[in-house]
Amino acid sequence: MKPLRVLIAAAIIAALLCAAALAAAGALGLDFAGLIHGAFEKRGDDVQPGELEQQLSEGQWVYLNGENVAVILPEAPLKILLSDDSGESWRESTVEGSDTMQAFGDVREQHYLGGWIGAFGEDGMYLALTGGLAAGSQPLNIYLSGDSGKSWRAVETPHTLGLYSGVVTGAAFASAESGTVCYRYWEDAGPVAWHTADGGASWARAELPVPPEYAGCCFMPGAPAFDGAEGRLEISAEREGRPVGGFTVRTRDGGASWALE
């Protein structure tokens, strides 16, 4: 596979992490939703097409960067389809150990319900996988690859370390060392993001600034988008359960610190 580089503008990255991903899939003649839904059916999971399309519109399951395409297939163990020619040909990668997940105090067979995949640097890739929800908690597995997705290794997450286990709304790595996981408001109003600077060995909560006009709101960050150390994160706000707008924060150090756009 050609080197997967994240060298496009942050605006383009953001576009690929929203509904434009579905439009791009159609332009390439690829049925991403069908591939992923078929994998769910194969292992007996009941996932509605509308739910899956919503996840795709939020930047889950598929990564697009020029001719490079990566698609998560939620089988057991998990498989990744990789193409470097816009889907003309594919190779398959198996994520060893992905058929189990630490969830709610036990290691159990896991049916993944969401996932983010992307690339960084010359040959780096990340994979973040979420499981089922229970009482505001959601298990999370993260895998990194240093060879363009040929092999994967599991790293610690805020969930596996017992630090935080809310509902994941997005995840991305800017490099093999620097990664960010975002969460829906839960234990507090948020916005909540956790950052690692050592490839997942340890995590710390990142400070996300909030404009004064959104004081008293609850917040839900989206999926962060990185172009090297520079990144962008869109955050939506709710007041009394109703959407009231949103704002954007940016980073220049891979997600360690953020400032209002």
Written as one string, the DSSP assignment of 81-140 is EEESSTTSS-EEEE-TTTTEEEETTEEEE----EEEEEEETTTEEEEEEE---BTTB--E
What is the C-alpha to C-alpha distance for residues 7 and 163, in angstroms, rounded to an integer?
32
User: What pLDDT, on a 0 to 100 scale, did the predictor assign at position 10?
Assistant: 33
User: What pLDDT, on a 0 to 100 scale, did the predictor assign at position 5?
Assistant: 33
User: What pLDDT, on a 0 to 100 scale, did the predictor assign at position 21?
Assistant: 47
DSSP 212: G
Least confident of 20-24, 102-106, 114-118: 20-24
Mean per-residue pLDDT for 95-115? 73
Mean per-residue pLDDT for 248-261? 97
